[in-house]
Amino acid sequence: MQSNTIVTITLITVKVTVEPSDVETVGDAVTLICSISDVTESMRLVWVNSNGKIAEEKTFTRRNKEDKSLSLIVWKGDRGRRKWTCILFHQNMPQVSVPYYREFRGK
């Protein structure tokens, strides 16, 4: 008798956005938001600054699937650090890395 194997693949995407989106309206801070499309098991999102130091992190499980994002507030004094990276970890191994470069102008 022949057996059939069914393989299911779940694609999880990572997206980085910024609020406010218009550089010219930047006041004292902007918020970088790293979002994942789905949580299938324990995962961790981490924001890393240009020096390679962890700025913010959050662990997600199947139980807390409703909130699937990690926010990082970048204050005016931190704007010299123009590169931020959102990293998705699964079982303590980096799976996806999304760099975000931002040119801050203004006072």
What confidence score (pLDDT) does residue 87 get? 96
- Residue 6 is predicted with a pLDDT of 92
Joined together, the tokens standing for residue 6 give: 């069914």
Q: Which one-letter amino acid corresponds to residue 36?
A: I
Residue ranges per domain, the chain? 14-101
Nearest CA among 80, 96, 93 for reference residue 36? 96
- pLDDT tens digits for 32-87? 999 998 888 889 999 999 899 999 999 998 876 678 999 999 876 665 567 899 99
23, pLDDT greater than 60:
no
- Domain 14-101 top-level CATH class: mainly beta
How high is the pLDDT of residue 88? Answer: 94
